[in-house]
Amino acid sequence: MRGTRATAAVLTAATVPALLAACGLGGAEETSAAGRDSLVIGVKGDQPALGVKRPDGTYEGFDVDVATYIAGKMGVPKSRITFRTTNSSVREEALAKGTVDMIVATYSITAKRRMKVTFGGPYYVAHQDTFVRADATSIKNVRDLKDRRICQVTGSNSWRRVIEERKVAAKPVTVGTYGACMDALAAGRLDAVSTDDLILAGFAAGRPGRMINAPFTDEKYGVGLKKGDLKGCEEVNRAITGMYQDGTAERLLNKWFGRSGLKLTTSVPQFEGCT
Ligand code: GLU
């Protein structure tokens, strides 16, 4: 009798995952970015030098190149990658719903996001800085943003760094993307755009205005994966290590930011660990 019950318990434990998988409710194995023939990768579409959608529908930028390298190491060639514009406001949702398999889109690893997302990397550590119009000489550091209109991109963390973490009483203005923030700044609807130096450097190349050069955070750019995709995360981390070891990271940083004046870090960042 006891034996029979034990056997039933074992059978149940072994059968449940298979049944769930058959119903499309499987765990990390089924939804992992590892072992795939093709990948859908979320990137930005309007951030010069990071993620830009060209008129012909293809994408370019540092994040696009990093994503292509990582996918290649995971066995997926460029021809089998579909890039999809994934703005800050939809990143967590896109991973949870499975509309993208992976996100490489100036996506900082934060404690709050880690509750919903598994992050590989970081593949780079940027720093938050602030971009102002050329005539705004009185804005010298983050504290000078008090009472100034700053960009609040939905789903992005940069405005929180100023208002919630630094407790600077800036006036946030909601805008959809960083491209739209730069347009609003040029049009006089904002006083400053405070976000990652890589993002600002990408825009600065084509616009009047200046970066104030007062970095105040570490923005650990992670590769977003569906929560629980530890196998995918470990493969991503192996690929990032390779990207630094074989000189690709340095080459890509120089390719996209070599003329920006930013101090570039070419050693592999400390990984956060897959959780
Ligand atoms: N790295 C910051 C973040 O993840 C700002 C850029 C962005 O939203 O893409 O919130």
pLDDT of residue 206: 81
Write out residues with Cβ below 6 Å of ligand 1: 88, 105-108, 153, 156-158, 195-196, 219
Name which residue sits closest to atom 8 of ligand 1, judged by CA. Answer: 156
CA of 22 to the centre of ligand 1 (A): 37
Residue 266 lies in a domain: no
Domain annotation covers residue 192: yes
Local confidence pLDDT in tens for the 275 residues of the chain: 344 444 444 444 444 444 444 444 444 446 899 999 999 999 999 999 999 999 999 999 999 999 999 999 999 999 999 999 999 999 999 999 999 999 999 999 999 999 999 999 999 999 999 999 999 999 999 999 999 999 999 999 999 999 999 999 999 999 999 999 999 999 999 999 999 999 999 999 989 999 999 999 999 999 999 999 999 999 999 999 999 999 999 999 999 999 999 999 999 999 999 99
State in Å: Cα 161 to ligand 1 middle.
11
Q: Over the stretch 209-257, which tens digit does the pLDDT of each residue have?
A: 999 999 999 999 999 999 999 999 999 999 999 999 999 999 999 999 9
| Residue-level length of the chain | 275
Q: Distance between CA atoms of 207 and 191, rounded to whole angstroms?
A: 15
Residue among 195, 199, 220 whose CB has most ligand 1 atoms within 8 A, to mutate: 195
Tell me the best of 109, 150, 153, 162 to mutate to test the pocket of ligand 1, counting ligand atoms within 8 Å of each CB and taking the most: 153
Task: Please give the pLDDT value at position 4.
Answer: 43
Q: To test ligand 1's pocket by mutation, which of 196, 216, 217 has the most ligand atoms within 8 angstroms of CB? A: 196
Segments forming the whole domain that contains residue 158: 128-211
Q: Are 96 and 227 in contact (CB under 8 A)?
A: yes
Evaluate whether residue 167 is within a structural domain: yes
Instruction: Say yes or no: 50 and 161 in one domain.
Output: no
The total number of structural domains in the chain stands at 2
Do 51 and 177 share a domain, yes or no?
Answer: no
Are 75 and 133 found together in one domain?
no
158 C-alpha to center of ligand 1: Å? 6
In SS3 terms, 241-269 reads as: HHHHHCCHHHHHHHHHHCCCCCCCCCCCC
Report the atom number in ligand 1 closest to the C-alpha of 113.
Answer: 4
Distance of alpha carbon 257 from alpha carbon 275, whole angstroms? 31
C-alpha 241 to ligand 1 mean position (Å):
23
Overall pTM > 0.85: yes
Per DSSP, helices labelled H in 100-139 are 111-114
Spatial CA neighbour of 248 closest among 67, 127, 121, 33: 67
pLDDT value at position 6?
A: 45
Asked if residue 146 and residue 36 are part of one domain, the reply reads no
The CA 126 to ligand 1 mean position distance, Å, reads 10
Residue 162 and residue 240 share a domain: no
Query: Which ligand 1 atom lies nearest to the CA of residue 108?
Result: 4
CA distance 111 to 14: 34
Note whether 101 and 233 are same-domain residues.
yes
* Minimum-distance ligand 1 atom for the alpha carbon of 88: 8
Tell me, what's the pLDDT at 8? 44
From the CA of 106, give the closest atom in ligand 1.
Answer: 9
Ligand 1 atom nearest the C-alpha of 157 is 10
Residue type, 57: G
**CATH code of the domain covering residue 163:** 3.40.190.10
The atom of ligand 1 lying closest to the CA of 47 is 9
- Assess whether 57 and 93 both reside in one domain: yes
**What local confidence, expressed as pLDDT, does residue 31 receive?**
83
